[in-house]
A and B are shown apart, each in its own frame.
Chain A
Amino acid sequence: MKLLAAMSGGVDSSVAAALAVRDGHEVVGATLKQWSFEDDAVRVGKGCNTLDAVADARRAADVIGIAHYTFDFREIFERDVVDPFVADYAAGLTPNPCVRCNELVRFGALARKAEMLGFEGIITGHYARTDGTRLYRARNADKDQSYVLYAIDVSKAHFPLGEIASKDEVRGIARELDLLNADRADSLEVCFVGDGRRPGDVVAERVPVAVRSGPIVDDSGNVVGEHRGLAYYTIGQRKGLGVAAPEPRYVAKLDVERNAVVIAAAGGLGATSLEATRPRFVRDVAADGERFDAVVRYRGEPAPATYEATQDGFVLTFDRPVRAVAPGQAVVLYRGDEVVGGGTISNSA
């Protein structure tokens, strides 16, 4: 097949492209320029989008022996990922920008461009599996990234790393192929936030009014401290609250109206149900009463739950209370290893 490999410059996407070549596909590499840091030359982060990343991807493509292009996706990325990310944080939500990026950018705009240019599919270095109609967890459970892929159109997706059992095996292949970035550390940060910065910094730069200090209150309404701005906090967060208490306190709620961070002891955090919007199903829409293992954050534990559709999404009722259900995050519905679908958490109770 004629495939376009989305290459970030990291080891995973480089090996994915190389494996596709090894499998006999006609592969061309592409790196998306997604973001302009104020000074690309100085800020050399590990994200998907720095000049360094483009250079690394180009070198990897050279080593693999494929053509490589750089596509300027800054406008698309800004509109479909960064702007909603900022708006969500400003609204007291905790968004997952990777979900939107995969849905709207990689397997959205890039897939459409690839099709237009005559490519039959997109290769990424994600750890997940697909047969073109369904989506499954990766063989390597530790690396599984199916959570951030539930919203994509899998018909054009190729994940060569999904069948590989261990990260070491990927690094081994990278060394075998003499890919220079074989030992480069994986990126764990949101790619456009930048090294040593936090999402709240990005929000503060763009919507200063949304990031104001305010009170930290306990579940009885007593003011027990001061916060830096809601965008710096996430539901379930324990560290960095600066509140002295006999037992650990966690962020239970971000109250936008009062610009307050509400904290609670662990016992007061469990949600017995959640509401989700923006429902996406990989193939078949779920049926009311259907049982799923729900995952409410990246690398989160599956929690058994019952599904019921609503007008603009669905409600999940958990068998047992689930901690740290943060509005804005994705909830992904698994049936064993299969990703059936998911949505954006709008509320929990």
Chain B
Amino acid sequence: MMVDEPVHYLDYAATAPILPDVREAMLPYLAERYGNPSSIYATGREARKGVDEAREKLALAIGASPEEIVFTGGGTEAGNIAVKGVAWANAERGKHILLPKIEHHAVLDSAEWLAKIGFEIGFLKVDRGGLVSPDDVAAKLRDDTTLVCVMLANNEIGTIEPVAEIATICRERGVTTFTDAVQALGKIHVDVKALGVDLAAFSAHKIGGPKGTGALYVRRGVRLVPHTHGGGQERGRRSGTENPAGVVGFATAAEIVTGELETEPLRWTTLRDRLRDALLRLPDVQLNGHPTDRLPHNLNISVKGVVGEDVLLMLDAKGICASTGSACQSGSVEPSYVLKACGVENKWAEGALRLTVGRSTTDADVDAVLTELPPIIERLRSYKR
């Protein structure tokens, strides 16, 4: 609220500040390299080179081949292209799609929209920690199942799903698998070949790249019907003039964060665990998500007897940036649909608080939370609702 106070940013799952090297890498494409990558003259060729190199870099970062990368306008668009594109491409073979209810809205709402136009959705169970069971996938696969969507890591609770096992089961049955890897990239090793998935969605701004840029990995040979028609860019999967500055920034960020995977996540885990251990010692506070199978930077707790939004407002007044769950749901007091799907009771779910650390987070940020949050909880609990 007060602009001059120091800001403690603990919402890396919402977005991450643009890395200085990313900004530097983007600047030429916002200045002299303004050409359209499809143009034949020098500035166009420079832009093309930037896009091509970005595609190679990102492919390397996720274990794909460059031609398997489709750049998009963000993670949500990537998810939409994947879910709808695969469903349409296989509609003659079957119209059954499986996914857990904890998927991001980009996937969930795409699937629910498909259900309105004649597709059928089956929901995969998740346990209290948010884990999907490969056995449940195997049991629910049908002859007309064409697509299984299981996110690599959940955006609210950080649970890491057994995507590789699920992909193996699906592959044996000839079913396409899509994983939303938006939250996982840069936090854990993401190798699409090792995972064995057919499609995977990524977002630039979650890893210190620019907003409005994402990518979809589409394994060679996967059938996909495009939904943006036009100039045939991105191999016809996503027409529209490429965004050289955006994709160069994205690839630079991907290169940096995957290069730091051996060091940064350990640091985050130490910070996160300090927060977790101190906050779980407060009365009537519980951990949401899985105790071990979770992203290294994610903490999600429920504070009984308070509304998460009230906590956020009071933290904001102290310069602490946190979230109740998904940023897409702000302004709504509906308890998190993810926690609901995990079987968390309303009285706990409404007091959810997500703290996600990142590259800039220090012990001082953790100290600030541990100083400010307990009295806020105490104050809010003293008011009868």
Q: Name A residues whose Cβ lies closer than 8 Å to a Cβ of B.
A: 28, 33, 54, 67, 69-72, 75, 112-113, 115-118
Contact = CB atoms under 8 A, between A and B. Distances in A.
Given A116-B379, A116-B380, A117-B313, A67 B333 contact: no
Contacts of B280: none
Interface in B36-61: none
Given A72-B331, A72-B333, A116-B380, A67 B310 contact: no
A33 B331 contact: yes
Nearest to B312: A69
A67 B310 CA distance: 15
B272 to A, nearest CB: 27
A67 B332 CA distance: 18
A113 B310 contact: yes
Contacts of A113: 310
B330 to A, nearest CB: 8
A102 to B, nearest CB: 21
Given A116-B379, A118-B317, A72 B1 contact: no
Contacts of B332: 72
Contacts of A118: 314, 317, 379
Nearest 7 CB-CB pairs, A to B? A70-B331, A116-B383, A72-B333, A67-B1, A72-B332, A117-B313, A72-B331
B1 A117 contact: no
Contacts of B309: 71
A28 B3 CA distance: 13
B331 A117 contact: no
B316 interface: yes
Given A67-B1, A112-B383, A117 B310 contact: yes
Nearest to A112: B383
Contacts of A33: 331
8 contacts: A67-B1, A69-B313, A70-B331, A71-B331, A72-B332, A72-B333, A72-B334, A116-B383
Which among A69, A75, A112, A115 has the highest number of chain B CB atoms within 10 Å? A69
A28 B313 CA distance: 11
A67 B316 contact: yes
Interface string B317-348: 10000000000001111100000000000000
Nearest to B380: A116
Q: Chain B CB within 10 Å — which of A75, A115, A117 has the most? A: A117
A115 B383 CA distance: 9
Contacts of A112: 383
Contacts of A115: 383
Contacts of B313: 69, 117
Contact of A116 (B310, B330, B331): B310
Interface string B356-372: 00000000000000000
Nearest to B313: A117
A264 B379 CA distance: 59
A247 B383 CA distance: 60
A117 B316 contact: no
A339 B331 CA distance: 36
A89 B327 CA distance: 40
Interface string B130-147: 000000000000000000
B378 to A, nearest CB: 12
A76 to B, nearest CB: 10
A324 to B, nearest CB: 40
B1 A28 contact: yes
B385 to A, nearest CB: 9
A256 to B, nearest CB: 36
B305 to A, nearest CB: 12
Contacts of B380: 116
A69 B309 CA distance: 10
A27 to B, nearest CB: 10
A31 B125 CA distance: 38
Nearest to A76: B333
Contacts of A28: 1
A75 B307 CA distance: 15
Contacts of B334: 72
A93 B169 CA distance: 65
Contacts of B1: 28, 67
Contacts of B379: 116, 118
A69 B316 CA distance: 11
Contacts of A75: 333
Contacts of A67: 1, 316
Given A117-B310, A118-B379, 19 more contacts: A33-B331, A54-B331, A67-B1, A67-B316, A70-B330, A70-B331, A72-B331, A72-B332, A72-B333, A72-B334, A75-B333, A112-B383, A113-B310, A115-B383, A116-B379, A117-B313, A117-B314, A117-B317, A118-B314
Nearest to A73: B333
Nearest to B334: A72
Contacts of A70: 330-331
A8 B268 CA distance: 42
Interface in B297-312: 309-310
A54 to B, nearest CB: 8
A54 B331 CA distance: 11
A58 to B, nearest CB: 11
Nearest to B314: A117
A72 B297 CA distance: 29
B55 to A, nearest CB: 36
Nearest to A31: B331
A337 B314 CA distance: 39
A203 to B, nearest CB: 27
| Most central of B313, B317, B380 by chain A CB within 10 Å | B313
Contacts of B383: 112, 115-116
B363 to A, nearest CB: 27
Nearest to A72: B333
A179 to B, nearest CB: 21
Interface centre among A54, A75, A118, by most chain B C-beta atoms within 10 angstroms, is A118
B131 to A, nearest CB: 30
Contacts of B331: 33, 54, 70-72
A4 to B, nearest CB: 10
Contacts of A116: 310, 379-380, 383
Interface in B135-171: none
Contacts of B310: 113, 116-117
Nearest to A116: B383
A72 B310 CA distance: 12
A238 to B, nearest CB: 43
B351 to A, nearest CB: 14
Contacts of B314: 117-118
A75 B335 CA distance: 13
A117 B334 CA distance: 19
